[in-house]
Amino acid sequence: MIYEPAEDSELLLEAALQEIKPEDEVIEIGAGSGFVAERLKGKCRYILTTDISPYAARELRRKGLDVVMTDIARGIKKRFSLVLFNPPYVELEDELKMGDWLDVAIDGGRRGIEVIRKFLDMLDEIMDDSGRAILIASSQNEPEVFDLIRERGFVYEIIGERGVFFERLYAIKIWRE
């Protein structure tokens, strides 16, 4: 019932390890199993995780991570210098939906960008003015994901990528100029 780490999780971890600084206060949204957050612990000043799934929240707590069970970062009033998110970025077809928490971890909505859109709409509330975010997205989300980033006044750079099956995964660094 928890999204198991895969190529996208590894890509987020690699990008985060390149970007993280000892003074960073970090939030990992949708932290799932804690694969990324537990490896960043001790490399920054503070790390907070969020997940919408009660199963993931329990696992994150079990691993000794601070966790808030919420949708993206709803209700969190703090701002962070580094925001990490490996969102659901595929559109899950109705016949593949199981009606459980794993659907939430995988289904990104129409064209796989609806959860990404919600995240980008919330990013100003949780990212410091001089902060950075790292978002994982798929070539299947192109060009919409890049349009959404620009439309919200952010600048971006692809800082990592990986080919898997029939798509490319991108680690996209986002910030304000």
Distance CA 8, CA 11 (A): 5
CA distances from 151 to 83, 110, 117, 147 (A): 19, 19, 11, 6
Task: Judge whether residue 139 has pLDDT over 90.
Answer: yes
Distance CA 39, CA 176 (A): 27
Distance CA 154, CA 177 (A): 7
Single-letter code of the amino acid located at 118:
K
Q: If you average pLDDT over residues 113-120, what whole number do you get?
A: 92
User: Average pLDDT, whole number, for the chain?
Assistant: 90
Single-letter code of the amino acid located at 173:
K
Q: If you average pLDDT over residues 56-80, what whole number do you get?
A: 96
pTM: 0.91
Predicted confidence at residue 113, as pLDDT, reads: 86
As beta bridge partners, residue 138 has: 169
Q: Quick: pLDDT tens for 34-46.
A: 999 999 999 999 9
Q: If you average pLDDT over residues 89-116, what whole number do you get?
A: 63
Ramachandran sector of residue 114 (left: φ over 0; alpha: ψ -120 to 50; beta: rest): alpha
88 pLDDT band, cuts 50/70/90, is confident
DSSP H/E element including 164: strand 155-164
Which pairing describes strands 25-29 and 80-85: parallel, antiparallel, or unpaired?
A: parallel
Predicted confidence at residue 154, as pLDDT, reads: 98
Give 11-56 as a DSSP string.
HHHHHHHHH--TT-EEEEET-TT-HHHHHHTTSSSEEEEEES-HHH
Predicted confidence at residue 31, as pLDDT, reads: 96
What residue ranges define each of the domains in the chain, with the CATH number in brackets? 7-175 (3.40.50.150)
Predicted confidence at residue 116, as pLDDT, reads: 94
Predicted confidence at residue 80, as pLDDT, reads: 98
Distance CA 58, CA 13 (A): 21
Ramachandran sector of residue 137 (left: φ over 0; alpha: ψ -120 to 50; beta: rest): beta
Task: Judge whether residue 75 has pLDDT over 80.
Answer: yes
Predicted confidence at residue 165, as pLDDT, reads: 82
Task: Judge whether residue 101 has pLDDT over 60.
Answer: no
